[in-house]
Chain A
Amino acid sequence: MKTEKCVDFDNLLYDFADGLLDEEKTLEVKKHCDSCDNCRSIVSEIKMVTSLAGSLPEVHVPADKMWLGIEKRIDSSEATPEVAASISPGLFTRIYLYFKRTHLVAVPALVTALVLLGIFPAWFSDGNNPFLVSPNPSSTDVYSSEMQKTEENFSADISDASSEARWNMVEDAFSEVTLDNVTSDIYSDWEN
């Protein structure tokens, strides 16, 4: 009869019957089986099933008939081992198969979900929704177009200047950038 103690050994009996347990566990299960008819019987049945399955009579293979069929198929089709190379798995398939084999498919799926959940709301919340067309240019658009013009002028000037003059232009440009300027620029943008 199955006792409460038997439950502890339930999962070990198969490995015990297959001889897959370490020495310590083997002794533990053996000791239990010596005093438990139920578990001893299960182990015997497992061994018997395994042994009977392994002793099934060999299947008779039909002589050369099968090979002739294979040969015919190979000869009649255009399939060659070289052609098969073109269906070799690509990089993404290999990555997917690696995660599948290691049972970590959920990890890239979770990362993708987090990225989508994090990026898309932030993107749309900044007014960058690509599906909406604003009827009037916003202050940001005006600011951007002015910045673009300034940059274009600066690029045109600097490409015409000599190397020493270029260096001076860059120095002048950076001397105007102070923390106060940057902060006030940011706030002015917000105020608009």
Chain B
Amino acid sequence: MKRSDVELIQAVLDGEEAAFKILYDKYVKKVYSLAYRISGKYGDPEELTQEIFYQVYKNLKNFHGKSQFYTWLFRVATNTCLQYNRKHNKSRGSSSYENLEENAPMVLPPSSRPLPDTEAEQRLFQEDIARHISALPEKQKMVMILGPVQGHSYQEISEMLDVSVTVIKGRLHRARESLRSIFKDRGDSIT
């Protein structure tokens, strides 16, 4: 019989470690995807994902069921990602935006049309957007990944990051404003 998240958490707290593996299997894909996109070029998404799930296990007793487990898990995940980035950027002695210099200037391949009509063009656009997302300021990047990339609602992101919906909307607004430069760089606009 399939158990709910709350039942699985209770089982873990009762000492059934295998229940935590079920929770891991259920959420690892989204958590790893977040870790992969947040940690950037120099990060280690595997190490970060392990740290996230370790923190989740360690703090499981602090989950009181007031929000969905999924939202709480992502709160732990986003905090761990931010701490990880700060720690690793500090040790590298550079800002988290160093990828910008390396990635962003690789201007998009020349094209007469801005709309990604063909599959190849679509792939190029995706690569560009992924590169530009990774070059965004940390908070905007986080909202961009949780929102448009992973498909969470404003309300969910607000609970995950513990900030108001208005703040989330503002960050997403600025992030997309920056990303729109992809189209502007092409010297054309979409009509």
Contact = CB atoms under 8 A, between A and B. Distances in A.
Interface string B32-75: 11001100000001100110011001111110000000000000
Given A49-B182, A82-B13, A56 B60 contact: no
A58 B180 contact: no
A69 to B, nearest CB: 5
A53 B191 contact: no
Contact of B126 (A55, A71, A74): A55
Contact of A53 (B12, B36, B149): B149
Contact of A67 (B21, B33, B183): B21
B82 interface: no
Contacts of B20: 74
Contacts of A69: 46, 50
**Main SS of chain A's interface residues?**
helix
Nearest to A101: B162
A42 B180 CA distance: 8
Contact of A52 (B24, B129, B191): B129
Which range holds the interface residue count of chain A? 35 or more
B190 A41 contact: yes
Interface string B121-143: 01001100110010000000000
Given A49-B182, A82-B13, A54 B190 contact: no
A53 B133 contact: yes
B176 A46 contact: yes
**Main SS of chain B's interface residues?**
helix
A67 B126 contact: no
A44 interface: yes
Contacts of B129: 49, 52-53, 56
Contacts of B191: 37, 40-41, 44
A59 B17 contact: no
Interface in A36-95: 37, 40-42, 44-46, 48-50, 52-59, 61-62, 65-67, 69-71, 73-74, 79, 81-85, 87-88
Interface of B: 12-13, 17, 20-21, 24, 28-29, 32-33, 36-37, 45-46, 49-50, 53-54, 57-62, 115-116, 122, 125-126, 129-130, 133, 144, 148-149, 151, 162, 164, 169, 172-173, 176, 179-180, 182-183, 189-191
Q: Sort A-B residue pairs by CB-CB distance and give the 10 closest, nearest first.
A: A53-B148, A44-B190, A85-B61, A81-B60, A41-B189, A79-B58, A59-B33, A45-B180, A69-B50, A52-B129
13 contacts: A45-B183, A49-B180, A52-B126, A58-B33, A59-B36, A69-B46, A73-B50, A74-B54, A84-B59, A87-B59, A87-B62, A100-B162, A101-B164
Given A70-B24, A100-B162, 14 more contacts: A45-B183, A48-B183, A49-B179, A49-B182, A52-B125, A53-B148, A59-B37, A61-B32, A62-B46, A70-B53, A79-B57, A81-B58, A81-B59, A87-B59
